[in-house]
């Protein structure tokens, strides 16, 4: 069996910085035509000069393959003239509530005070990308943030708001109520539950934020994605950390899925007999919702087993050492 995907896109991607770029960028640029790059670096991306330098660093490692890094700014109370200058260089601005995930300490604490910035973003057509969690009990953090999404959606009806890496049935319910909301869903949240992380011995390589939830939540995500929901896009939230930062006390949150994301998605959709909606999930919906014209790239996959390497440099990938039933036959 074969399937060819046109210009696959990863709409939520952590490439990190420094030496890690030599691992992360080739893995994403091989299979994907573009990716939305997150700005929560050690020093968050809060200026246009910094953003352009970061994009150049990413492009250096693309190895002559067609890949468009879609850049984002870390949310701040930017003056209107700064946003106007940045508009042509960014695909959106990423909002992190303070302290909810990796390197988000400089995130938002006053959600009332950010409305003037949101109003300018609405006027300029700059999408708002949101890590939608509060600081409460870990399994309730996403549900507790839904009221904030609701308020933003109603107050700014012309603002495109992207609910990033949603994990719950409640988030699907809210998404269905507002046309200006979109969402990304990760590969791992379609596959695992909290039981896979801590149900037996703790598996640090499956620890991520937002944490995996219940079977009911996972099944609700699958149902929405496999039905071809017109406002749900693929975003891997691929988030690499060196093994010594995962296999330790106080392990870092993140799953490095970029090398296997397209293979495992294809296997998941094939098992559900829904390969017909995979193109939409990994490309077409994102192109429509964001108005993107990504580089042309055709990725043909076929049912030939692929054994995932144990390591990519210092990073262990999702499914490392395991076999997947699909592999890439051709990229052109």
234 falls within a domain: yes
pTM over 0.85, yes/no: yes
Closest CA to 70 of 49, 81, 54, 46: 54
Alpha carbon dihedral 141, 144, 150, 153, in 10-degree steps, equals: -20
275 falls within a domain: no
296 falls within a domain: no
- What is the per-residue pLDDT for 64? 79
- What is the per-residue pLDDT for 41? 97
3 falls within a domain: no
- What is the per-residue pLDDT for 105? 87
267 falls within a domain: no
- What is the per-residue pLDDT for 131? 97
Q: For each of the chain's 332 residues, which pLDDT tens digit applies?
A: 999 999 999 999 999 999 999 999 999 999 999 999 999 999 999 999 999 999 999 999 997 789 999 999 999 999 999 999 999 999 999 999 998 998 888 889 989 899 999 999 999 999 999 999 999 999 999 999 999 999 999 999 999 999 999 999 999 999 999 999 999 999 999 999 999 999 999 999 999 999 999 999 999 999 999 999 999 999 999 999 999 999 999 999 999 999 999 999 999 999 999 999 999 999 999 999 999 999 999 999 999 999 999 999 999 999 999 999 999 999 99
Alpha carbon dihedral 118, 121, 123, 125, in 10-degree steps, equals: -140
> Which domain covers residue 117, as residue numbers?
10-258
298 falls within a domain: no
- What is the per-residue pLDDT for 63? 77
Catalytically annotated residue among 6, 110, 173, 237: 237
- Among this protein's residues, is 81 annotated catalytic? no
303 falls within a domain: no
- What is the per-residue pLDDT for 295? 97
- What is the per-residue pLDDT for 106? 87
- What is the per-residue pLDDT for 90? 98
69 falls within a domain: yes
How far is the C-alpha of 149 from the C-alpha of 161, rounded, in Å?
8
Q: Are 331 and 321 in contact (CB under 8 A)?
A: no
Structural domain count, the chain: 1
CATH assignment at residue 38 = 3.20.20.140
């Amino acid at each position: 069996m074969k399937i060819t995907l046109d210009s696959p896109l990863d709409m939520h991607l952590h490439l990190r910085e420094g030496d890690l770029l030599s691992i992360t960028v080739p893995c994403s640029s091989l299979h994907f035509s573009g990716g939305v790059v997150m700005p929560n670096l050690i020093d968050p991306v809060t200026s246009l000069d910094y953003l352009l330098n970061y994009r150049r660093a990413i492009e250096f490692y693309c190895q002559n393959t067609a890949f468009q890094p879609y850049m984002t700014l870390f949310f701040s109370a930017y003056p209107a003239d700064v946003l106007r200058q940045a508009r042509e260089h960014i695909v959106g601005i990423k909002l992190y509530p303070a302290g909810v995930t990796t390197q988000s300490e400089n995130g938002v604490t006053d959600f009332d005070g950010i409305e003037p910035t949101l109003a300018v973003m609405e006027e300029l057509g700059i999408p708002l990308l949101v890590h939608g969690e509060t600081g409460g009990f870990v399994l309730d953090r996403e549900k507790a943030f839904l009221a904030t999404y609701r308020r933003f959606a109603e107050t700014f009806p012309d603002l495109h708001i992207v609910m990033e890496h949603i994990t719950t049935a409640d988030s699907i319910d809210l998404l269905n109520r507002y046309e200006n909301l979109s969402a990304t869903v990760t590969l791992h949240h379609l596959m695992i539950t909290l039981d896979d992380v801590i149900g037996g011995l703790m598996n640090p390589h499956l620890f991520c934020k937002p944490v995996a939830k219940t079977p009911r939540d996972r099944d609700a995500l699958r149902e929405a994605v496999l039905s071809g929901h017109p406002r749900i896009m693929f975003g891997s939230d691929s988030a690499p950390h060196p093994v010594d930062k995962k296999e330790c006390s106080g392990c870092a949150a993140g799953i490095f899925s970029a090398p296997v994301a397209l293979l495992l998605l294809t296997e998941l959709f094939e098992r559900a007999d829904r390969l017909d909606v995979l193109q939409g999930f990994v490309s077409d919906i994102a192109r429509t919702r964001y108005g993107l014209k990504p580089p042309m790239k055709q990725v043909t996959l076929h049912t030939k087993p692929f054994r995932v390497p144990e390591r990519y440099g210092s990073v262990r990938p999702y499914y490392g050492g395991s076999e997947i039933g699909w592999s890439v036959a051709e990229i052109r």
